[in-house]
Amino acid sequence: MKINQFISLKKYNSFQINAQGRYFVELNKRDDFKTLLHEHGDKYIFPLGEGSNILLVEDEIEALVALVNTKGIQIVHETERYVHVKIEAGEIWDEVVQWAVDREYGGIENLTLIPGKIGAAPIQNIGAYGVELKDSLIACEFIDKSTGLFEEVDNTYCQFAYRDSIFKNELKNKVIVTAITLQLSKEGHHKYNTSYGAISNHLKEHFSNEINLSTIREAVKQIRMSKLPDPKVVGNSGSFFKNPIVDRQQFELIQKQFPDIVHYPVAENKIKLAAGWMIEKLNGKQLTVGGAGVHPKQALVLINKNNATGTDLLQLSQQIQSTVFEHFGVQLETEVNIIDQKYTCQL
Ligand code: EPU
């Protein structure tokens, strides 16, 4: 296991921040996780997938950055109605979506084009267009940093919620996800999800309302590409903030002042607000700090416009948080993981 030193992390994070990794190692096979913990478990270990949901704030990361590259997609169980597919943490999420759609396995087609690797997917329960990972995940395997042992847990254990899981709470920094198992439907047993407004309209307009795994995937791709910047072209990490969930009482007060606020009921007394709408309403799209700005087509997405530093982006996000709080009384939580010195010391 070769540990490199002083590696630029620019190509390993989708904001394209030019921070340096003090120590850097690649994990290419399952045994590497064990070796890593056995040989270097005394160091702060920072597992990295595609780096598409992090903001590197410091110029240098003191931790041992462990790039997860383990590959493998394997059908481990099959019935007439579904397959169980075990996927290693280093596989690229969207390549797995393509693998599934090509074989007519359903359940994750709405999640196409979400950047990142498999290992990161359960951490924040990735979701888009009416579907979340938790709808198809049946098992998650991880290695416990303190024991060096692999464990496999079920969906309930993961405590999935909107952009949340046990891995962001009780197990934060305590385990490294090594694989997941998904249950995907077979032909004739799919439950298509086209309830998200833009998808059904798009299917009608561009695909003569033909509904199958490929047309749904294609529709989601086209919708996403029309709104979200390609991280290879413009550095970004998708939605920077979560959509806040507030009590009905608080929502009604806000709605009195902003009658057209975009919102969705999520439970009897809970309303989710569209943070992108709120930011746009406050002219947030015009804000910049240094090289950091807001995507003109989606205010929830912060972008590296021009050689932004991690601090530029962090300051811009804080400015947005305080403006939103001032006007709506709502605290926006970041969806992106802020990797600063405090974070590294908790690893
Ligand atoms: N809106 C605006 N202005 C904006 C942005 C949005 O008015 O600048 C309005 C839209 O018109 C729409 C509403 O806000 O009425 C919601 O917008 P959109 O459908 O674009 O979705 P979102 O709530 O902003 C969430 C996810 C995205 C996911 C989309 C589609 C979060 C934090 N973000 O965004 O996920 O792709 O829904 O399901 O939940 C990500 O997590 O990185 C991500 C991109």
Q: What is the pTM of this model?
A: 0.96
Q: Is residue 60 within 6 Å of ligand 1 at its C-beta?
A: no
User: What string of pLDDT tens digits covers the 347 residues of the chain?
Assistant: 889 999 999 999 999 999 999 999 999 999 999 999 999 987 899 999 999 999 999 999 999 999 999 999 999 999 999 999 999 999 999 999 999 999 999 999 999 999 999 999 999 999 999 999 999 999 999 999 999 999 999 999 999 999 999 999 999 999 999 999 999 999 999 999 998 878 999 999 999 999 999 999 999 999 999 999 999 999 999 999 999 999 999 999 999 999 999 999 999 999 999 999 999 999 999 999 999 999 999 999 999 999 999 999 999 999 999 999 999 999 999 999 999 988 888 88
Out of 3.40.605.10, 1.10.3720.10, 3.30.43.10, 3.40.1670.10, the CATH code matching 4-68 is 3.30.43.10
CB atoms inside a 10 Å sphere around CB 285 = 16
Give the strand order in the sheet containing 45-48.
4-8, 20-27, 60-68, 45-48
Size of the chain in residues: 347
- Burial degree of 156 (CB within 10 A; 0-12, 13-18, 19+): exposed
> What residue ranges do the domains of the chain occupy?
4-68, 73-227, 235-339
CB-CB contact of 158 with 165 (8 Å): yes
Task: Report how far residue 57's alpha carbon sits from residue 138's, in angstroms, rounded to the nearest whole number.
Answer: 35
Out of 3.30.465.10, 3.30.450.90, 2.40.50.140, 3.30.470.10, the CATH code matching 73-227 is 3.30.465.10
Query: Domain spanning 235-339: which CATH class is it, in words?
Result: alpha beta
Q: Which residue minimizes the CA distance to atom 13 of ligand 1?
A: 274
Q: Is residue 335 within 6 Å of ligand 1 at its C-beta?
A: yes
Q: Among 239, 273, 332, which is best to mutate for testing ligand 1, by the most ligand atoms less than 8 A from CB?
A: 239
pLDDT score for 42: 79
CB atoms inside a 10 Å sphere around CB 283 = 11
Q: Is residue 300 within 6 Å of ligand 1 at its C-beta?
A: yes
Cα 295 vs. chain centroid, distance in angstroms?
A: 18
Q: What does the buried/exposed string (b/e) look like for 304-340 if buried means 16 or more CB atoms within 10 Å of the residue's CB?
A: bbeebbbbbbbebbeebbebbeeebebebebbbbebb
